[in-house]
Structure 1
Amino acid sequence: MLDGELGVFLRSRREAVRPEQVGLPVGPRRRTPGLRRAEVATLAQVSVEYLTRLEQGRDNRPSPEILAALANALRLDEADRRHLQQLASVENHRQLCTGRRPAVSRTVRPEIRSLLDALRDRPAYLLNRVGDVLAWNDPFDRLARALGLLDGDRPNLVWFVFADERAREHFPDWAELADQQVAELHRLRQGDPATDAFAERLGRAVGAAFTSRWQRCPVAAQPSAVRRLRHPEVGLLRLAYETLELPDDQQRLVVHLPADAPTTAALARLLIPRPRTLHPLAS
């Protein structure tokens, strides 16, 4: 756990709440984004001094009752409440405070490779917690290579979405996809310095498109949904995806399924086995 992460999260949520959401007047002289500390302290029935200590990382062990009061005052949704409880639990038990998290995994177990190969007609791939695409099956290769996602020695989904101009062309709902990728990074980071270093590099490379999202500290990531993809060979696809967590490996297996009949037909065309090129034998 990085020092002060609980406070950073609380501050980000305080700045995201509009006064009118909690029944407070906006007023012409308001300069603070979101709510003032005094307003949150009043709503949660804690002192301003205590809330200041929490946000500044000088106190990181609030009671469950105070956590619940702050969550209610800040109008947190279920994903944010779970994340807040997780941050507080880690701080209380001092599990990750030394920063000694396992290195970002780039090793793929043979069993996972076999599972990918067994999905013969469903595009599937494996990600680590910073979005490196570690392994994939042939259907995903057919789907993603034409997009440019698999270019390079170490493809990374998050980097591709933000830093490659082709991503905006291929994904009609690019903004939603970008939000999703940042939420996944935040949800999985749990004080991981490697994730923060990756975010810093990406922020330097692409600027506000990433940093504005990162600073909001989103954590609500959907494990399943339908995503539109404009493929250069078969046109517009509507693909459902399911995410399977592999917590021991700190990895995620993502499987794509066609979401409608036209997509089913288009995928079938795309995944037709390609004939091998025959070369004449030398005489």
Structure 2
Amino acid sequence: MTVVLREVRDQVMYLTLHGPETLNSMTPEAMTGFEEALDEAEADTSLRAVLITASGERAFSVGIDITFLGECFGDPQGVFLPYLDRFHAVLRRIELLPVPVVTAVNGLARAGGFEIILASDLVVVAEEAKIGDIHLQFGVPPGAGASQRAARKLGDQKAKALMLTSKWLDAATAVAWGLALEAVPRTHLMAAAEALVDTLRGLSRPGIAATKLTVAAAQDLSLADGLAYERKIFAKFLTSEGAAEGYLAFVEKREPRWEDADVSHLR
């Protein structure tokens, strides 16, 4: 059984998929762990980032647990579809979280593991990792949003190559295709992920939230609509407490003091 361990340290929430004996396969318990962690993350005004990784060296996540999958096919309407609805909601909440989600991929990532990567803001992969969709190897299409996210993130040809041919990506190809930001040796993986979240510690929470919102909107909006949306979010940002702190710190020749802040008004 895979669970999600969580800990908050210095403005960052650390989430670890923990079920190494089953290659961190996705279970209802893991889904509950993500839901509870996201509840906490959405309410914690001190956060500047969330970092997701997994236990062990073999896998990030191989997707839905094989034993639970038997229950799913045994009762598609009562078990499978409700589970997928929960997974859809978790991935969407990751995308809409007002702080960046950094994912450190330590090993094999397929199906549900791949879908978590697609929903993340920044991804670092171990050089030893492999990433794939692989649903069609089991005769089923993707069901938690991968077809839509992959096409937007990778483009039509690459998304179809991953899904129709069950192609595996090595770490270097994942970076070249734009699925990951960088690839590092597994022994350096957490240090590389920490380097990313460390750049966010102490920054303006409203500034972080507004930036994530506007960049994400570019996936779905025309340029004209996207520019109008950025203007709208910037106007809301100006109503945030401490919106002028960066300017004031510069003219007063001091370090800025970014306070914890509620950013719900930006949505």
TM range (shorter): under 0.3
Query: Normalized against structure 2, the TM-score is what?
Result: 0.26
Query: Normalized against structure 1, the TM-score is what?
Result: 0.25
Structure with max Cα Rg: 1
